[in-house]
Structure formats: structure tokens, C-alpha cells
């Protein structure tokens, strides 16, 4: 009887492990991360022309404690069985390559768009709910990012400006009112005392269906150089070149 019980227990453990393997990582939600190029291109050398709209950084599986799911690794993080290799996604993305080049470009000079997509797939797509379907993963991300629902300007309630910084708390409250949930806002600091709004990240619950569509509050509302919503003033610059002879002093004053 004891041996029989042990065999039943072992079978149950094996079945549970298979379920985990099939379902992938036990993550809780996705982050749709959108980048404001003018903020990034102040701290790094970008290709020209610099986009005048938010571009896609990625769609990232994230644990409930707001820690990103680590990249796929067949030894240490086999989150899904036999996901599509990064080197094999290029051909599959051919039908939407034009859209990806426009909306999901690599901004940095030293990397190609394809390099960027491969990295995003390895770091996030392979451990998502699309492990063997890169076309749908990238297509669904494109559709989310291009929908009016996830329009950062509409959510934040502001337009790019070279004259007016915004209290971070106000932007978060605007997003809660206009979008229905608190996003995460990250910042860069090209110069001491200057905070630029670098990314807005919308959080979506993981459900049994794809694409994710149920919005939720992001567990952490600020990141990178943004630290305190009640005191941080951030710029959403209309131009990438921000430090002219007439605005350095006003920038510093507005950020303190």
C-alpha cells in the first residue's frame, strides 16, 4: 500500500511539473513599455531622423512582485519547452517588418532593428505566452501600442513641450483618470537636476487569452531616475536637444 501511494505521489509530481512546463513561467502580468525617443536620444547617440512618437521597447512578462521574468535559458530558466530561437524569428516577422521598422525601431546607432527584436524575443518573448509564435507576439504588441487605448499622450493628459515640466504625481493621476490604472513612469537624467520622461509602462493582467487586455495598476509607479512622484518634475521634451544658452538655468530651477 505504501509503495502504491508513493507511486501515485510521484505521478502527481511529474504531472504538476509537466503542467508548469507547458504553461511557461508563473508570471502575473505583462508590461507594455513605450519609449519617448527625445529623452533617450539626449543620453545616447541615436539614428536619424528621431521618431516624434512613442516607440515600443517591449512586452515583458513580469512576476507579481514586479521582478521581470529572466531571459530564457535551457539550463537555468527553461520557462517554455522548445521556444522558437531568436535566429529563427526574422523570416516569421517578414509580413509585419515595415510596421516594426516604424513603430519598434532600435534607436541606438550601433544596433540594427533586427538585433533589437532578437534581444526582445530572447529576453521576453520566449518566456511569454507566445513561445513558439513570434509573429503573434510582435503583432499583438504592435496592435496594443498603436491602439488609442494605450496612447501615452492621452493617458498622461499632456503634449510634448520645451517650456513646461510636469509634476510626476500629476501625470500618474492623469493616467489613472484617463487610462483606468496607474502606469509606471521611468526617467533619465542627462544632467544633474534634469529629469526627462523616458518610458511609460502600462501593466496588463495575464489571462488565459492573448493578447492581454485587462489593465491593472503597476506595482511600482516610478523607476530609474524617477524616485518621488510628489517632488519630481519631469520634462516631455518636444526636441532632443535641450541644453541651449537660454534654458539651462530654467531647467535646473524647474527640477528642484
The percentage of residues in the chain with a pLDDT greater than 90, rounded to a whole number, is 77
* Residue range 81-104, pLDDT digits in tens: 999 999 999 999 999 999 999 999
Residue 21: the pLDDT is: 36
Answer for the pair 158, 174: CB distance below 8 angstroms, yes or no: yes
Mean per-residue pLDDT of the chain: 86
Answer for the pair 165, 235: CB distance below 8 angstroms, yes or no: yes
Longest CA–CA separation in the chain, Å: 86
At 24, the pLDDT band (50, 70, 90 cuts) reads low
Structural domains of the chain sorted by starting position, each given as residue range(s) with its CATH number in brackets? 26-254 (3.90.730.10)
How many C-beta atoms lie closer than 10 Å to residue 180's C-beta?
12
Cβ partners under 8 Å of residue 193, min gap 6:
251, 252, 255, 256
Answer for the pair 218, 184: CB distance below 8 angstroms, yes or no: yes
Task: Indicate if the pLDDT at residue 34 is higher than 60.
Answer: yes
Question: How large is the average pLDDT for residues 12-21?
Answer: 35
For residue 234, count CB atoms less than 10 angstroms from its CB and return exposed for 0-12, middle for 13-18, buried for 19 or more.
Answer: buried
At 25, the pLDDT band (50, 70, 90 cuts) reads confident
* Residue range 188-239, pLDDT digits in tens: 998 888 999 999 999 999 999 999 999 999 999 999 999 999 999 999 999 8
Answer for the pair 70, 77: CB distance below 8 angstroms, yes or no: yes
Q: What one-character-per-residue DSSP string does 25-56 give?
A: ----EEEEEEE-HHHHTTTS-B-SSPPSS-EE
Residue 13: the pLDDT is: 35
- Angle 134-146/113-123 helices, nearest 10 degrees? 100
* Residue range 134-177, pLDDT digits in tens: 999 999 999 999 999 999 999 999 999 999 999 999 999 999 99
Distances in Å between the Cα of 31 and the Cα atoms of 153, 163, 220 are 18, 30, 11
Residue 115 sits at the vertex; the CA angle it makes with 114 and 117, to the nearest 5 degrees, is: 60
Residue 43: the pLDDT is: 82
* Residue range 102-137, pLDDT digits in tens: 999 999 988 999 999 999 999 999 999 999 999 999
The model's pTM: 0.84
Amino acid at each position: 500500500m505504501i509503495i502504491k501511494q508513493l507511486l501515485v505521489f510521484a505521478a502527481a509530481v511529474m504531472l504538476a511539473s509537466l503542467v508548469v512546463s507547458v504553461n511557461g513561467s508563473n508570471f502575473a502580468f505583462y508590461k507594455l513599455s513605450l519609449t519617448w525617443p527625445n529623452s533617450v536620444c539626449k543620453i545616447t547617440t541615436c539614428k536619424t531622423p528621431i521618431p516624434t512618437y512613442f516607440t515600443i521597447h517591449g512586452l515583458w512578462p513580469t512576476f507579481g512582485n514586479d521582478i521581470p521574468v529572466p531571459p530564457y535559458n535551457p539550463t537555468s530558466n527553461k520557462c517554455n519547452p522548445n521556444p522558437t530561437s531568436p535566429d529563427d524569428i526574422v523570416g516569421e516577422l517578414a509580413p509585419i517588418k515595415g510596421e516594426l521598422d516604424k513603430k519598434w525601431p532600435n534607436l541606438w546607432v550601433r544596433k540594427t532593428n533586427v538585433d533589437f527584436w532578437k534581444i526582445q524575443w530572447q529576453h521576453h518573448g520566449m518566456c511569454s505566452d507566445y513561445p513558439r509564435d513570434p509573429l503573434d507576439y510582435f503583432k499583438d504588441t504592435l496592435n496594443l501600442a498603436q491602439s488609442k487605448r494605450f496612447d501615452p499622450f492621452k493617458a498622461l493628459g499632456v503634449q510634448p513641450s520645451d517650456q513646461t515640466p510636469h509634476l510626476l504625481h500629476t501625470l500618474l493621476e492623469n493616467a489613472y483618470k484617463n487610462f483606468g490604472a496607474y502606469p509606471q513612469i521611468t526617467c533619465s537624467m542627462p544632467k544633474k537636476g534634469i529629469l526627462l520622461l523616458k518610458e511609460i509602462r502600462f501593466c496588463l493582467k495575464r489571462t488565459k487569452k492573448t493578447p492581454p487586455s485587462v489593465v491593472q495598476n503597476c506595482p511600482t509607479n516610478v523607476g530609474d531616475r524617477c524616485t518621488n512622484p510628489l517632488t519630481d518634475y519631469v520634462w516631455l521634451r518636444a526636441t532632443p536637444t535641450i541644453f541651449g544658452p537660454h534654458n539651462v538655468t530654467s531647467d535646473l530651477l524647474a527640477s528642484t
